[in-house]
Amino acid sequence: MTLLIAHLGPPGTYTEAAALAYVEKMARETGQDCLLHPYPTIAKTLQAVAQGQVQRAVVPVENSIEGNVPMTLDTLWQLDELQIQLALVLPISHALLSTAEKLEEIQKVYSHPQALAQCQDWLAKFLPNAQLISTNSTTEVLKNLEREKTAGAISSQRAAQLYQLPILAYPINDYPHNYTRFWVLSLDASPGGTHTSLGFSVPANVPGALVKPLQVFANRQINLSRIESRPTKRSLGEYLFFIDLEADATQPFVQAALEELKIHTETLKIFGSYSVLTAPLDFTNQ
């Protein structure tokens, strides 16, 4: 059976590059046939798995410069039946695509908010008067970009090849060591691995409300590689907390920690244990 894999589209996005890395891994290890299916937003990508339209979804969760991807965390909290199968870490190198002859002609720059933020210093220096317009993905506007002679889009070298668009400047990200972590999710049980991700809310906004859950892991020498907060959307000042552990939830001492954690949390959701794969530096340019 062909494995259907949802990803943020249209084709040419960095998320599609992550999905291709996953396809390559599956082909190498299992010989599994895979078919990619682009969706217009991260939420719809994850919903496609939850609704059984596809078997896997690949979504961005964290960038080394701009931090977490809120839509991924918020949607995963709502669709808590999804389980992480794998984490993929990809290098991200941005290009400015445009049919303009020179930078001075650019009046608008389109891209995903994360990409715009990752290039904000470059944009301020070379295109200080350009209007920055957020899109659902780095490739959403590329099919129409040729008609806008005074517009540019921040995307990848691979996208420039796919859409046959000129690269006006490259690289334009503010920091050369720019990486994004992606998750592969499905309704299947998580396979186990080096990391575990979870989310929780606390019973009340009182002193020690967050310290007590974190102390559960400190007491057992379980390292936390990430902690993020997101609004509960119920009341100002109420937050959800997302944590990555450097441990496998199937290990007895981790299971004991999670049982104790339930005492100090209002709601606890375990998103699975998984391994982390880092793609080669030149993968996104292939």
Same domain, 36 and 147: no
DSSP count for the chain of H helices, then E strands: 8, 15
Residues 184 and 81 grouped into a single domain: yes
User: Would 30 be classed as within a structural domain?
Assistant: yes
30 and 46 in a common domain: yes
Judge if 48 and 186 occupy the same domain.
Answer: yes
Q: Which residue has the tokens 């078997």?
A: 55
User: Does a structural domain hold residue 234?
Assistant: yes
Are 106 and 87 members of one domain? no
Is the dihedral angle over the CA atoms 205, 63, 71, 199 positive or is it negative?
A: negative
Q: Clarify whether residues 64 and 186 are in a common domain.
A: yes
Domain membership flag for residue 148? yes
| pLDDT confidence of residue 281 | 46
Are 16 and 153 members of one domain?
A: no
Residue 14 lies in a domain: yes
∠ Cα 111 78 15 (to 5°): 30
> Which tens digits make up the pLDDT trace of 172-183?
999 999 999 999
In a domain, 235, yes or no: yes
Residues 102 and 208 in one domain: no
Q: What is the pLDDT of residue 286?
A: 40
Is 44 inside any structural domain?
yes
41 and 8, same domain (yes or no): yes
Last residue of a domain, one of 169, 204, 225: 169
Instruction: Burial-class residue 96 by CB neighbours within 10 Å (0-12, 13-18, 19+).
Output: buried
146: buried, middle or exposed (CB in 10 Å: 19+, 13-18, 0-12)? middle
Q: The domain spanning residue 267 has which CATH number?
A: 3.30.70.260
Compute the distance between CA of residue 58 and CA of residue 87 in angstroms, rounded to an integer: 9
Instruction: Kindly state whether residues 86 and 13 are assigned to the same domain.
Output: yes
Same domain, 40 and 105: no
With a CB cutoff of 8 Å and minimum separation 6, the contacts of 222 are 245, 246, 247, 253, 254, 257
Place of tokens 């400047």: 169
Residues 99 and 87 in one domain: no
Q: What is the pLDDT of residue 279?
A: 77
Give the residue numbers spanning the domain of 262.
Answer: 195-274
Question: Does residue 174 sit within a domain?
Answer: no
pTM (two decimals): 0.92
Domain count, the chain: 3
Binned average pLDDT, 10 residues per bin, the chain of 286 residues: 94 95 91 94 97 97 93 95 97 96 96 95 97 96 93 96 96 94 97 97 84 96 96 88 97 97 96 91 44
Q: Is residue 78 part of a domain?
A: yes
Task: Assign residue 124 the CATH number of its domain.
Answer: 3.40.190.10
Amino acid making up residue 9: G
In the prediction, which pLDDT does 51 show?
97
Residue 285: per-residue pLDDT: 43
What is the Cα–Cα distance from 164 to 85, expressed in whole angstroms? 34
